[in-house]
Amino acid sequence: MAITDVARYAHLSRTDIDALGAELDSIRVEIENSLGARDAAYIHRTIRFQRALDAAARLLIFSSRSKTTWALGAVSLAVAKSVENMELGHNIGHGQWDWMNDPEIHSNTWEWDMAGVSSQWRYSHNYRHHMYTNVLGVDDDLGFGIMRVSRDEPWRRKWLAQPVRNLLLALIFEWGIAMHGLHSEHERADSDAERSSQSAALMRKTRRQLAKDYLLLPALSGRRWRRTLTANIAANVLRNLWAYAVIFCGHFPDGAEKFTEEALADETKPDWYLRQMLGTANFDAGPVLAFASGNLCYQIEHHLFPDLPSNRYAQIAERVRELCDKYDLPYTTGPFARQFFLTQRTILKLALPDRFLTATADDAPETASERKFG
């Protein structure tokens, strides 16, 4: 079952946890004090690259005279969309670049190129997910309400369809994020008028997205509208699959632990740090894969410091690894393919009734608790 006593699970005393928190706080202060022109140049360079790649991909699609050229254009467009959504939209939405005081590159003004409304996503993601990461019954990202990812969720017959739901979610991931954000806003709304306003905001955003990708741009292509339309569809699906894979690898492979609501009782900032370290997972990546994933290959570091610029996560990761060694904590990571395989294994396995599962509920690869220690 999920972890209730985080300190006991980690074998750390109150003094140890407070010391760990102080060391992580010092990393934050050090990074914040060193932010400057080099970091600003990075985000401006990334924006220019993304926009140039987007324009080049669309030109390639429009001028393509072979299936190979069309495919290259569609893949390039998918990469451009992924960079915009993950390295730009996601990270800017976290406030990673608010320190620059640039009105364009700010969490309150950047609207990403996908179906969901950025402001709705910021509440569901930045607050509900990051504050309560992997806490059962609180973090809606645990299975997104449509999948069983922990044995703490009782098995029901509907979970037999989980493999199909999983595939559909991957294919239409941007729409899942959009509905996820709207659901969170509806839950916190105080009136029907507020809920209607949020629904209308999502409808306006989705209409713009659909019109841009599937009406306006194909229409501007004239007689070549079909290749533009199909390329846009392909690019959006590829972007959805990639975003799904990256995000799921950060939260559902073996070693990304789950927690009960009781674990939140009297939680301090150092306790929160510890829970984030235990509840997230990385995957190994060089500079290219890291950039393509929005630096979410460093999910542990991102959850510790969600509002620090993503270009610093590789630097921070070295320090976090050292702290994990010092305090005998797991640093959950592995090759991308392996992390993805473990994630899919868990999703497929938990579609089955518990009687088909072999490991105990307190010591399974996908779900462990302090009770496994006796």
pLDDT tens column, 106-159: 999 999 999 999 999 999 999 999 999 999 989 988 888 899 999 888 999 999
Count CA within 13 A, CB hemisphere, residue 213.
Answer: 21
3-class state of residue 233 by DSSP? helix
The label of the residue with tokens 């629904």 reads 199
- Look at residue 257 in the predicted model and tell me its pLDDT: 95
- Look at residue 142 in the predicted model and tell me its pLDDT: 87
- Look at residue 95 in the predicted model and tell me its pLDDT: 97
Asked whether the beta carbons of 243 and 340 are under 8 A apart, the reply is no
- Look at residue 1 in the predicted model and tell me its pLDDT: 79
- Look at residue 178 in the predicted model and tell me its pLDDT: 95
Q: Which of 155, 194, 99 is nearest to 367 (CA)?
A: 155
- Look at residue 174 in the predicted model and tell me its pLDDT: 96
Rounded to whole angstroms, the Cα distance separating 104 from 109 reads 6
Instruction: Please give the C-alpha separations between residue 159 and each of 135, 214, 247, 253, 347, in angstroms, as whole numbers.
Output: 20, 34, 21, 19, 10
- Look at residue 144 in the predicted model and tell me its pLDDT: 81
Instruction: Average pLDDT across each block of 10 residues of the chain; the chain has 374 residues. List them in order.
Output: 94 98 98 98 98 97 94 98 98 98 97 95 92 93 88 93 97 95 92 95 96 96 94 98 97 95 96 98 98 98 98 98 98 98 96 89 84 81
